[in-house]
């Protein structure tokens, strides 16, 4: 890719032309739309399906749509889904087996039809999450071929964040609100006295080719300045933050903290946080048969470290208490993930805060653990 990426301006017509071009190329375009009282990710065929004029109201354990007067399409924070819904689906058949009349077994690996995805409106925090899942699921010795097949060739069109939610903390995790890498195209939405438009930057040769094939205008200094100002302003308006400490060291030094007892009294161990997290990747397998016993299937499905049987060994589960299971999740997410994959497993999207039924706040728990550690050190 050229070191000087192309920069242009799209209006709503140009955005629609981009979606229609991607569809005409045989891609499955997935982006945000309003459905069932939320901004969800679904297949799109035109820009009209984007959530123009809709924002969200977020708080711990709270999510509501709210109308916007400016008609912005991407002025909403992360919804209940992440892109792992498509790249690392909740349930996937691995193989099936049939026993013939002579008793001979025939085993067939499941070959899912190839899908060429184009993800539109990927937040910078979710760009980071996709990069993390790339390392976990296709970058090591234990490659997930299903994930790798869906990820190969997937086009990523980012939407930089200009209005963070009250549960967002990507700035303190270094994963936003600006898109700095990992995209084919990056959009920054501007709505001001000059009009409603999108500054677009190219991040790959494929992105540059797409931009050249749709109606666009050269980027003007006023639009570029407005885009930079909006993104920089978003970094200063994050609703949450984590302490500027070494989280890996903090987690390692807090294994016996009293705070774990406090959060255990509130945690339902429902696993919602792991389901909505864009980087959680754990799975289990299920073997099922029909009533005759002549047909069997193996399925892979999401699992959660909050499940009592997740750590089951001969004799029972290793982590039988809510305290131990919440501690496992948080210390892995922001601590030992570094040992496995070289980075934090948290991107600061805030989904785990919003979709926790009792409003447990990861940033609050980390802050409390840090304060407890500092108090112990001061005694």
pLDDT tens string 149-207: 999 989 999 999 999 999 999 999 999 999 999 999 999 999 998 899 999 999 999 99
End-to-end CA distance of the chain: 55
Measuring CA to CA, how many Å separate 208 from each of 160, 201, 325? 18, 8, 46
pLDDT tens string 231-281: 999 999 999 999 999 999 999 999 999 999 999 999 999 999 999 999 999
Instruction: With cut-offs at 50, 70 and 90, classify the pLDDT of residue 112.
Output: confident
Using the predicted structure, report yes or no on whether residue 6 has a pLDDT greater than 80: no
pLDDT at 377: 82
Beta bridge mates, 56: 65
**Integer Cα distance of 119 and 42 in angstroms:** 10
Burial 72-97 (b: 16+ CB within 10 A, else e): bbbbbbbbbbbbbbbbbeeebeeebe
pLDDT tens string 76-93: 998 899 999 999 999 999
pLDDT tens string 307-365: 999 998 888 889 999 999 999 999 999 999 999 999 999 999 999 999 999 999 999 99
User: For the whole model, what pTM was predicted?
Assistant: 0.93
pLDDT at 226: 95
Instruction: With cut-offs at 50, 70 and 90, classify the pLDDT of residue 4.
Output: low
**Integer Cα distance of 164 and 142 in angstroms:** 36
**Integer Cα distance of 365 and 379 in angstroms:** 21
In the chain, where does DSSP find H-type helix?
Answer: 12-24, 84-87, 124-138, 145-151, 170-173, 205-212, 221-235, 247-252, 259-266, 272-276, 322-331, 337-341, 351-354, 362-378
Residue with tokens 């992440």: 82
**Integer Cα distance of 327 and 306 in angstroms:** 10
* Dihedral sign computed on CA atoms, order 321, 272, 237, 8: positive
HSE, side-chain direction, 13 A CA sphere, residue 39: 26
Instruction: With cut-offs at 50, 70 and 90, classify the pLDDT of residue 3.
Output: low
- Give mean pLDDT, residues 282-292: 94
pLDDT at 153: 86
Helix (H, G, I), strand (E, B) or coil at 161: coil
Structure tokens that stand for 371 in this block: 């304060």
What is the torsion angle, in degrees rounded to the nearest 10, for the CA atoms of residue 124, residue 129, residue 133 and residue 139?
A: 50
**Integer Cα distance of 118 and 150 in angstroms:** 11
pLDDT tens string 209-242: 999 999 999 999 999 999 999 999 999 999 999 9
Using the predicted structure, report yes or no on whether residue 1 has a pLDDT greater than 60: no
Listed residue (112, 147, 111, 115) closest to 130, CA to CA: 147
């Amino acid at each position: 890719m050229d070191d000087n990426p192309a920069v242009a301006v799209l209006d709503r017509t140009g955005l629609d032309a981009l979606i229609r071009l991607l569809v005409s190329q045989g891609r499955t375009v997935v982006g945000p739309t309003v459905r069932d009282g939320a901004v969800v990710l679904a297949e799109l065929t035109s820009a009209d399906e984007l959530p123009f004029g809709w924002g969200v109201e977020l708080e711990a354990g709270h999510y509501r749509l709210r109308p916007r007067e400016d008609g912005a399409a991407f002025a909403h924070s992360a919804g209940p889904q992440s892109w792992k819904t498509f790249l690392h689906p909740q349930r996937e058949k691995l193989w099936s087996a049939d026993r013939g009349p002579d008793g001979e077994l025939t085993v067939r690996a499941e070959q899912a039809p190839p899908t060429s995805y184009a993800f539109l409106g990927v937040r910078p925090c979710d760009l980071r999450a996709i990069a993390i899942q790339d390392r976990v699921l296709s970058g090591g010795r234990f490659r997930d071929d299903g994930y790798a097949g869906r990820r190969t060739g997937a086009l990523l069109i980012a939407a930089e964040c200009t209005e963070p939610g009250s549960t967002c903390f990507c700035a303190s995790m270094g994963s936003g609100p600006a898109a700095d890498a990992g995209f084919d195209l990056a959009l920054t939405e501007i709505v001001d006295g000059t009009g409603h438009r999108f500054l677009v930057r190219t991040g790959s040769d494929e992105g540059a080719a797409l931009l050249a094939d749709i109606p666009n205008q050269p980027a003007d200094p006023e639009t570029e300045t407005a885009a930079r100002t909006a993104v920089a302003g978003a970094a200063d308006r994050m609703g949450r933050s984590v302490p500027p400490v070494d989280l890996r060291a903090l987690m390692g030094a807090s294994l016996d903290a009293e705070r774990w007892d406090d959060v255990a009294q509130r945690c339902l161990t429902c696993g919602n946080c792991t389901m909505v997290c864009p980087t959680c990747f754990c799975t289990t397998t299920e073997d099922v048969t029909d009533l005759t016993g002549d047909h069997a299937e193996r399925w892979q499905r999401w699992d959660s470290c909050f499940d009592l049987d997740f750590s089951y060994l001969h004799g029972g589960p290793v982590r039988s208490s809510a305290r131990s299971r919440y501690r496992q999740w948080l210390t892995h997410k922001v601590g030992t993930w570094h040992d496995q994959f070289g980075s934090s497993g948290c991107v600061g999207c805030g989904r785990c805060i919003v979709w926790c039924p009792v409003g447990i706040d990861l940033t609050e728990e980390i802050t409390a653990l840090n304060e407890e550690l500092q108090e112990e050190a001061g005694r």
